[in-house]
Amino acid sequence: MSPTPHATRTSDGAPGARPGVTLVHTREALDRLLDQARTRSAKAPAAPHAEPAASAEPAASIGTGPTQVAPARTEPPADAPGPVAPVPGARPATPRIAVVMTMGALHDGHATLVRTARERVGRDGAVVVTVFVNPLQFGAGEDLDRYPRTLDADVRVAEAAGADIVFAPSVDEVYPGGEPQVRVSAGPMGQRLEGASRPGHFDGMLTVVAKLLHLTRPDVAFFGQKDAQQLALIRRMVHDLAFRVEIAGVPTVREPDGLALSSRNRYLSTRERRTALALSTALFAARDRLAAQQALRARAETLPASPSRAEALSRIGESRAAADAHAVAQAAQHGQGGGADAVRAAARAVLDEAAKAEPPLALDYLALVDPTDFTEVPDDHTGDAVLLVAAKVGTTRLIDNLPLTFGAPA
């Protein structure tokens, strides 16, 4: 790609190497680069069909400084919620253009999205990273003014991860003439949980995602599973409004202590960070409780049914699940799946302790929901679910989630 007006090349690269990332600020410059990318990709030798990268979820489901972050780990891939039938349209077998949408302050979680996109489109494709702090998704009293803006560092992170273009438009470029009069509505699912805590947030998010999808014209867009409700709503919008783009989710990236990577983590003091670890600790405690219950239930099925079933289960000796033996036995006798309430209780116990810490954790919500509509699941739920938590530590609001499967995997 040759530099264009309103574009800046960060490096020319060594002979034979991919050129450096190009920073653009206007729609006209972005259009020229995208046209060049599609022309170049169309002329490239045909490549075998590329399967989705292992770190991304299956594409059949319709699917958001150099940094000094510690080595990160990701959640195991989980089947994504939402509609599974892709929107009809002529997409290339190997996508030519991928987009990763961000609000800047890039960290290794964003870099993982870019690396996954690079793998997916291959050397001859183009990866676009958008950097735009969207005012429509910030409510009154939220941190729009203090949200970190680190464009120079963001460009370096994007380039190192394999991006070709960084599109960093101004507010006037995205919303010429002021705030848009017509917006995308997130509907009932967008009014729950995060939507209830942040009224209008998802309407603003979907409006800018829709606009950036039009501007970047990608074949595939990558979003993090950390923002589970956001990802589900983007999928729903793409399906309902017939966008011809594939939405792919990438598992949450965590630091070694378990804290999910977030641009807002930098606001935490050392003591606040210790308290904030309760979010991921609660999720993992719930996951362990579910695993223990399901292991005990599997063992219970090998025992003969009798009035003394609970006592027999207690003698099995699984220390983690012995306390649940009677409840699990009764659930099995009554033909119930059971377990969702116990999973919620395991997570809540951790969060209740964190509320007593100094500084304390102020819980916003803990929810165990159906991934198709984000409504709470009943105690006898079987199948996929998502456990979500949101809380404040000091003035910093954090979210996290973990996909879970109740009963035998489908």
Do residues 245 and 223 lie in contact, with contact meaning Cβ atoms separated by under 8 Å? no
Cβ contacts of 324-332, under 8 Å, gap ≥ 24: 324/292, 324/293, 324/296, 325/296, 328/293, 328/296, 328/297, 328/300, 329/300, 331/297, 331/380, 332/297, 332/300, 332/301
Please give the Cα distance from 196 to 188 (Å, whole number).
Answer: 10
How would you class 151 by CB atoms within 10 Å of its CB: exposed for 0-12, middle for 13-18, buried for 19 or more? middle
Please give the Cα distance from 219 to 223 (Å, whole number).
Answer: 14
Taking the C-alpha atoms of 305, 310, 311 and 313 in order, what is their torsion angle to the nearest 10 degrees? 80
Q: For the chain, give the number of residues.
A: 410
In Å, how far from its chain's centre is CA 97? 20
Please give the Cα distance from 340 to 347 (Å, whole number).
Answer: 11
Residue among 107, 110, 201, 381 flagged as catalytic: 110
Say how many C-beta atoms besides its own lie within 10 A of residue 58's C-beta.
14
3-state secondary structure of 134: coil
Place of tokens 């996929």: 384
**Any catalytic annotation for residue 110?**
yes
Q: Sign of torsion, CA 265 53 206 22? A: positive
Provide DSSP, 297-357. HHHHTTSPP-TTHHHHHHTT--TTTGGGHHHHHHHHHTT----HHHHHHHHHHHHHHHTTS
Please give the Cα distance from 391 to 399 (Å, whole number).
Answer: 7
Q: Sign of torsion, CA 114 260 174 11? A: negative
Active site residues: 110
